[in-house]
Structure 1
Amino acid sequence: MCKKALLFINGVPPKSIPDIYKYDVIVCTDGALHYLKELDFPIQNLDFVSGDFDSFTDEEMMSDGKFIHTPDQDFTDFHKALQLLLDRGIAEVDVLGGSGGEQDHFLGNISVAYHFKKLMKIIFYDEFSRYFFIPKNFSVEGVKGKMISLYPFPYAKNIVSKGVKWCLCGEDLDITKRLGTRNMATDDIISVSYEEGNLLIFIGC
């Protein structure tokens, strides 16, 4: 059975918390702990908190065995948290707090997800959409009327998309030349295939 984790990181806090009981593991980076407290999230339900803790002063909390110190400054706290989850056999991760705020963090989070995309399935959620890297043959249902954006990272070739207002028929997308953003799903099921490169999909709420 595929083990699934919920990971909170330090972007814009979610407006609501998903059903935590559908996850095998629930974790956060140290920067996200402050908003979980404000959201009255039961901290005892966290399996671990990781980070460099360079601005964390609650020594009583730090004595809890759930706190994992990851001081390596060559990697972001998000990257280090994903590695800890991978080491624990986690195959799927839902990420909250991955967007908003300082946009270099958002772009950095996408780059980290790219690094892990062959190792685990990572889906980001925010108040506008969910977004993730897709395999070369992909379909999703329950999306009619929702915004669909295809974003090359940095390119994707020979893309075929179906079930959207503006379909692609063997065309290429490139981050410096052409994007596939702000489309609309006309069918309940959409499909996307491509032959080369990497492609993110954004699906509106």
Structure 2
Amino acid sequence: MNVVILCDGTPPKPEQLKKELKNSSLFIAADGGAFTADRMGVHPDVIIGDLDSYQKTGQEPGEVIHDPDQETNDLEKALAYAYKMEANHVTVFGATGKRLDHTLKNLSVLKQFHNQFESIIFKDRYSDLFLLPIHFETELPMKTTVSLFPLSGKVDGISTRGLKYSLTDGVLENGVQDGSSNETIENKIEIVHKKGDLLIFINHKTD
């Protein structure tokens, strides 16, 4: 089951969201993300959150769920609902941008729910980002910009293939060494790591 979640951060391009919705079974707006959905002419199946932004009108085509719990943010509520509905693959839009503290919190939520689904990916106008498994392979166009970030603070035993700046049993650590703005030199890349939470940013070519 594929689920799309729309949060209240920087909106994606309308065509990005609509393309993803074509292959989804459930569309969830996390609180203020419902306003973004409305502006783009798409209708969530569910609106969920503490509703400090969105106010129920009674005209919604889908369900509105008020969850006042202040120990969880709106993305957590949406992901918990997706898990309850037995989602396999989750794509999240609007989880980044606007307030930096909200973006950092949502990255923490990504780590929290990482093992609850077969895949969970954040998408925005610039990048696709997700936590890597211990061994990861994919195919990308040549000269795609790729960044690696140690979400856990430090990631050990990183080896890469197909990237311009390679690592062999290397370490990335916040404030010491980062892995930003690398580039693919082969169509197939491979990344392995031994310990820690490693984020990958696969950057889009933007207009």
TM-score bin (small chain): over 0.9
Shift of 1:145: 1.1
Q: Alignment partner for residue 74 of structure 2, among 58, 72, 77? A: 77
Aligned to 1:106: 103
Aligned to 2:130: 132
Deviations 1:99-156 (A, max 9, x none): 1111111111100000011112211111111000010000111232110101012211
Question: Aligned to 1:118, what secondary structure does the other structure show?
Answer: helix
CA contact (8 A) 2:147 2:202 kept: yes
Distance (whole Å) between structure 1 residues aligned to residue 179 and residue 49 of structure 2 = 35
Distance (whole Å) between structure 1 residues aligned to residue 136 and residue 163 of structure 2 = 14
Distance (whole Å) between structure 1 residues aligned to residue 92 and residue 53 of structure 2 = 22
Aligned to 1:66: 63
Give percent identity, aligned residues only: 29
Shift of 1:69: 1.1
TM-score by length of 2: 0.91
Aligned to 1:202: 201
Matched residue count = 199
RMSD between aligned residues: 1.4
Superposition pairs of residues 26-37 of structure 1, within 5 angstroms: 26-37=27-38
Q: What are the ranges of 5 or more consecutive residues in structure 2 without an aligned counterpart?
A: none
Question: Aligned to 2:107, what secondary structure does the other structure show?
Answer: helix
Deviations 1:20-73 (A, max 9, x none): 2211111111211111111122x2xx22110111343343237x6601111100
Q: Alignment partner for residue 87 of structure 1, among 73, 84, 87? A: 84
- After TM superposition, what 4+ stretches of structure 1 lie above 4 angstroms from structure 2? none
Superposition pairs of residues 144-183 of structure 1, within 5 angstroms: 144-153=142-151, 154-183=153-182
CA contact (8 A) 1:143 1:190 kept: no
CA contact (8 A) 2:140 2:187 kept: yes
Return the letter of the residue paired with 2:174. I
Shift of 1:197: 0.8
TM-score by length of 1: 0.92
Q: What are the ranges of 5 or more consecutive residues in structure 1 without an aligned counterpart?
A: none
Aligned to 2:18: 18
Question: Aligned to 2:83, what secondary structure does the other structure show?
Answer: helix
